[in-house]
Structure 1
Amino acid sequence: MKLIFSLLICIAAITSCQQKEIKTEQKPDQPLIGTWHLISSKSIEKGDTTVTTPPKDQEMVKIFNGTDFAFFTHDKKMGKVTKPVFDSGSGTYTLVGNNYAEHLAYCNYRDWENRDFKFTVQFKNDTLIQSGIEKIDSLNINHEIIETYVKLR
């Protein structure tokens, strides 16, 4: 009887050690998922428009999965310039229709972390246009951005 009881405990222990499948919220038909290359950007503050597209010696990509985003900007000279550039950030997002919201959890500009931003997105074939207000009172930031990306294949 002890042998049967011990055998049942061993079987229960072994079967409880199976790795459980982790489910992520992937939306494969969502047009946002993928990698996007920034081709133009503008900042509008108090009626003044500034073109902020990365200079020709820099590039930026933004990457989306079903729940998270990340962005990276760097100089194309691999840091071998007078002022090397590497900016990055990531967090979670929601997309409902054309209403897109980001929660920026990580950023090399640390005062921007743990902030929420709301935008509108438009999709035109392989082009994404993201626009909205970035406002952080404590940093005296209050401007509209318009960013245009092309999807990388």
Structure 2
Amino acid sequence: MNIRIPAFIGIIAWMAVSCADTKSPESAAELPLTGTWKLAYSKMIKNGDTTDTYPVKGQEMIKIFNGSHFAFFQHDVSKGSDSSTAIFGSGAGTYILSGNKYEEHLQYCSFRSWEDKHFTFTLTLQHDTLIQRGIEKIDSLNVNHEIIEAYIRLR
């Protein structure tokens, strides 16, 4: 009897630990990217200065992933009716995800000088929030900054 009780307690303890809801971020590979994500906030860090770049009043942005491609769309919610706030931007391309290393190849972009560029980011998933962080560097445009973007999965 004494041999079975410790084994039983060990199994119960293992089950409790295995089923516990941890609050630590998960690697990107543990949850699929496939689906639609809404931008919650973004920041740009340049020369040690951090600028909040989103949210922008009156704008929305989404990013969509399938197994090999991504696309993003940003627009004003007034549907262009206010010429001072009217905006539409989009981009798309391919990506490779390896663990939490996410590499984008931007093939199409409404900002045409960004087309055919590669960017490497780190992704972190925590519950329904995706954090994308990395360097955007394009020498020909004098672009060199870090971005941090947080997206919420849309159901």
Q: TM-score range with shorter-chain normalisation?
A: 0.7 to 0.9
1:4-31 deviation line (CA, Å, top 9, x unaligned): xxxxxxxxxxxxxxxxxxxxxxxxx852
Q: Does 1:46 align with 2:67?
A: no
Which residue of structure 1 aligns with residue 122 of structure 2?
120
In structure 2, list runs of 5 or more residues that go unmatched. Answer: 1-29
CA distance in 2, matches of 1:120, 1:50: 20
CA distance in 1, matches of 2:132, 2:70: 14
Q: Identity over aligned residues, as a percent?
A: 60
Normalising by structure 1, we get a TM-score of 0.80
The structure whose RCO (Cα within 8 Å, separation 6+) is larger is 2
CA distance in 2, matches of 1:120, 1:81: 36
Q: Counterpart of 2:80 in structure 1: which amino acid?
A: G
In the alignment of these two chains, the number of paired residues is 125
Instruction: Spell out the pairing of 1:8-47 with structure 2 (5 A cutoff).
Output: 30-47=31-48
Which residue of structure 1 aligns with residue 87 of structure 2?
85
Which residue of structure 2 aligns with residue 100 of structure 1?
102
Q: Does 1:69 align with 2:70?
A: yes
Q: What displacement does 1:55 show?
A: 1.0
Q: Counterpart of 2:66 in structure 1: which amino acid?
A: N
Which is worse superposed, 30-39 or 59-68?
Answer: 30-39
1:80-124 deviation line (CA, Å, top 9, x unaligned): 012310000000000000000000000000000000000000000
In structure 1, list runs of 5 or more residues that go unmatched. Answer: 1-28
CA distance in 2, matches of 1:130, 1:95: 12
Q: Does 1:137 align with 2:131?
A: no
User: Is the 8 Å Cα contact of residues 54 and 60 (structure 1) preserved in structure 2?
Assistant: no
User: Is the 8 Å Cα contact of residues 36 and 62 (structure 1) preserved in structure 2?
Assistant: yes
Q: Counterpart of 1:95 in structure 2: which amino acid?
A: L
Which residue of structure 2 aligns with residue 147 of structure 1?
149
Instruction: Spell out the pairing of 1:54-65 with structure 2 (5 A cutoff).
Output: 54-65=55-66
Deviating 4+ runs (over 3 angstroms): none
User: Is the 8 Å Cα contact of residues 31 and 125 (structure 2) preserved in structure 1?
Assistant: no
Q: What displacement does 1:33 show?
A: 0.7
CA distance in 2, matches of 1:39, 1:30: 19
